[in-house]
Amino acid sequence: MHTPFTYAYCIYLYIHQNSFIKLYIMNKFLVFFLLLFLNCSYAMPAQITSCRVTKVSDGDTIHCKTHSKKYKVRLLYIDAPESSQTFGIESKKALAQKILHKKVTLNITKKDHYGRTLAEIYLGTTNINLEMVKQGYAWEYRGLTLRKYTNARYYAQDRKLGLWQYPNPIEPKVYRQQQKNEKPSLNTLLEDIMISLKKLLQLLVDILDAIKGFLNG
């Protein structure tokens, strides 16, 4: 009598003996682990470097360069309004007025999964990241911040500075989620499908390995 375990074991043997299918599965695993690596922030040794700001992309992203290297920097611990969001343009202008074409110091901690350098930026002794929050041009990055950034937001809120002059400002991460829910991109859907398929494949292989161990035992 053939049981489900017998059928599953036959599938395992077929996959194991068929080099094409085996190679296909191995390639899928390679892609999976590569994506997993790229989607994880990887730590860098803490370092301090000086550079000149060449471009301000928005209220929490800049470009700068040294004599030998270029950086795309995401301001650490803060989250500024998106460019398409209320007060997004004002936030970008405020950051540009503070540091564009100026020499700044980067207190670098790591890179994010987009490859951007994460750093606190100093103009002299002034912490620009902190000032952006304190003046109401950005939120602190919830869940990944220091207490001083939360206190800076309270300071701006109490005085209705910057974006806090509006009655119900929307936090950038909430805004991004709303945009995503309203109009999911094809790439996002394909990524979700691929992730689900990879998880299903991993589960199948784990089950087959367990069945093989059970039968051999």
Which tens digit of pLDDT belongs to each residue from 128-184? 999 999 999 999 998 777 899 999 999 999 999 999 999 999 999 999 988 888 655
Q: Which residues are catalytic?
A: 74, 82, 116
- 47 neighbors 108 (Cβ within 8 angstroms): yes
Nearest residue to 119 via CA among 128, 106, 132, 131: 106
* pTM of this prediction exceeds 0.75: no
Nearest residue to 75 via CA among 88, 57, 90: 57
For the ranges 9-13, 120-124, 191-195, the lowest mean pLDDT is seen at: 9-13
What pLDDT does residue 38 have? 42
Mean pLDDT of the chain: 82
Kindly list the structural domains of the chain, giving each domain's residue range(s) and its CATH number in brackets, ordered by start.
4-39+184-216 (no CATH), 42-182 (2.40.50.90)
Q: What is the pLDDT of residues 25-45, one digit of tens each?
A: 555 554 444 444 444 444 445
At residue 186 the predicted structure's pLDDT band, cuts being 50, 70 and 90, is: low
